[in-house]
Structure 1
């Protein structure tokens, strides 16, 4: 039973990345097309909006101004919600968005990464920050770990992936590998997938000779397909289903006006997406598994993200 539970959790961590990226890019791409759509959108944003009590990051010299097209960052938390429990952030992804470069960098932080938990005065697995102190502690901890400002958060219910794909009417992808997973066959040709099959499609890795590369390719296919379907809201008759799926499964501190600014000033940033990874050494401390990330590795990642956010070190630390 423990083996099956661990396997299920690993699968969730793999595909929750897709949910977060889809959610952010849909928010970037959404526009108002008539009063009814506008009203549905504002209602959805009201449902998703959950501000948090948090001071402006000391890692910013000046307050962020989206109207001036300044680069910004988002922490995406894939949460396994449970009744009577805050849940666990099994997936943590940081996105930096630069409209000038028209690019998005996406960094996945391994859940077992050992780091200082800000507000607890202890070192622990980075995903434990959410269990200890929710979104705020997660943002503070990730900000300290990466040494960059975390401007916004996007919390995604991990059960919402299928709803989002189904809401856009399914997706069509060009499958380049014939395979079967959990009794479902995916032929090598153009195929149309509903939410359940799209989830299975992105899970498969071990039968693919390309390993993670092949899985990431399928993830990108699904992301691009959902964006293609979801961005054309003016031609969809089921926009209410799309907004309902987003409203039920996403929470964020982004306001409606900030989303409008992003839609106006940052929509071209999704043209180029780059995935970043953190490497480390697995070890056990007091019989608990951790991933230890070297200072050199952290500095390399920090430098790349700071450059993408256009943060000048001499200004931050005069």
Structure 2
């Protein structure tokens, strides 16, 4: 009798244990399958979006690089050619940022190039503001100008307008950024003082982040470049967080409508290695030193030649490349005034 009672108890425990295991495993399996299905959906959606955004440029002398195995660079080009500007092909760049990626230590260096930098524009063979390069010759001339300025290869480009900037941040439910001072700025529709931000760490939506990225009322182009770098880093941080997984579809839709790039989808997957580096990812921001100047009554930002040489050396070391051209610093230096 005791033996029968013992067997019944053992049988009940086994049934209970199976029931517990079932209630634990089934939700886990459901979650896992959901992630797999969502991952497959995102993969297919990303591939479709990137195919629509893919716009290669036939550049003479462009080096062949494998982003999975080699160091590479990407020029991020921000332009105000949104709906209000009717996507004018001759628009000037509002932001230029070169990112270099080092495969060995999974590090990124971000270099902001002030839009008013006084530089040589190849092909046109003139000296003017670097943001004019896009107006004169689109993405191709912009790439050539940056390559000549920094003396490193620009392997890829990503061109986005203000709509993409706003929509991506909104799709991520905002980003956390420190606002250095209180100010008012126009919005994306050029309505004067439509956005007011107060000093301090806070979560910004797309329009607010754009206002922070654009303003230079209380400082200069260099400080604006630093803010743009911080915003980019905040976007990267928010994008790779687990909380943002459910927003990836909206992010891709925002990007696809307002971006062009010569990165193929299979090449873009190389960024996963950097994203999964997590806290081990080392992102350093660099800025081009210089001073304000006026030439023929027009404001320019005159780059400091010695500081520029130092930045070139840092980028070459990070990319592990030799000099991009045979020109000496004096050949590409701005004419003195």
With the shorter chain as reference, the TM-score category is 0.7 to 0.9
2:138 pairs with 1:134: yes
Q: What is the CA distance between 1:89 and its match in structure 2?
A: 0.6
Q: Which segments of 5 or more consecutive residues in structure 1 lack a partner in the other structure? A: 1-30
**Residue 286 to residue 103, structure 1, CA distance change in 2 (3 Å):** same
TM-aligned CA deviation for residue 67 of structure 1: 2.9
SS of residue paired to 1:143: helix
Structure 1 residues 115-168: Cα deviation after superposition (integer angstroms, max 9, x where no partner): 221111222222111101000001011101111111011111023322111112
User: 1:240–1:123: structure 2 CA closer, same or farther, 3 Å change rule?
Assistant: same
Q: In 2, distance between residues paired with 1:32 and 1:53?
A: 37
In the other structure, the counterpart of 1:48 is 53
Residue 258 of structure 2 corresponds to 249
2:268 corresponds to 1:274: no
Q: 1: CA distance between counterparts of 2:181 and 2:137? A: 44
1:164 aligns with 2:168: yes
> Could you give the per-residue CA deviations for residues 5-64 of structure 1, whole angstroms, max 9, x where no partner exists?
xxxxxxxxxxxxxxxxxxxxxxxxxx995322111111111122111111233xx6xx32
Distance in structure 2 (CA, Å) of the matches to 1:186 and 1:292: 31
Distance in 2 of aligned mates of 1:193 and 1:102? 28
**Match of residue 5 from structure 1:** none
Pick one of 307, 311, 314 that aligns with 2:321: 311
Structure ranking higher on relative contact order (CA contacts 8 Å, 6+ apart): 1
**What's the secondary structure of 1:45's corresponding residue?**
helix
Which residue matches 1:66?
A: 67
- Separation of aligned partners in 1, 2:116 and 2:216: 21
- What TM-score results when the alignment is normalised by the length of structure 1? 0.72
Offset of residue 279 of structure 1:
2.0
Equivalence map 1:36-185=2 (5 Å): 36-57=41-62, 63-68=64-69, 70-81=70-81, 82-83=85-86, 85-86=88-89, 87-171=91-175, 173=176
How far apart are 1:71 and its partner, in Å? 1.2
From 265, 269, 294, the equivalent of 1:284 is: 294
Q: In 1, are the aligned partners of 2:92 and 2:133 still within 8 Å (CA)?
A: no
Cα distance, 1:198 vs structure 2: 4.0
1:231 alignment counterpart: 240
Aligned to 2:68, the other structure's residue is in SS state: helix
Q: Which of 243, 263, 267 is the aligned partner of 1:258?
A: 267
Aligned to 2:207: 196
1:15 alignment counterpart: none
3-state secondary structure, aligned to 2:50: helix
Give me the whole-angstrom Cα distance separating, in 1, the residues matched to 2:273 and 2:170.
27
The 3 A distance-change label for structure 1 pair 266 and 98 is: farther
For structure 2, which runs of at least 5 residues remain unmatched after alignment?
A: 1-35, 185-192, 327-337
RMSD: 3.6
SS in 2 for 1:258: helix
**Does the residue aligned with 1:91 lie in a helix, a strand or coil?**
strand
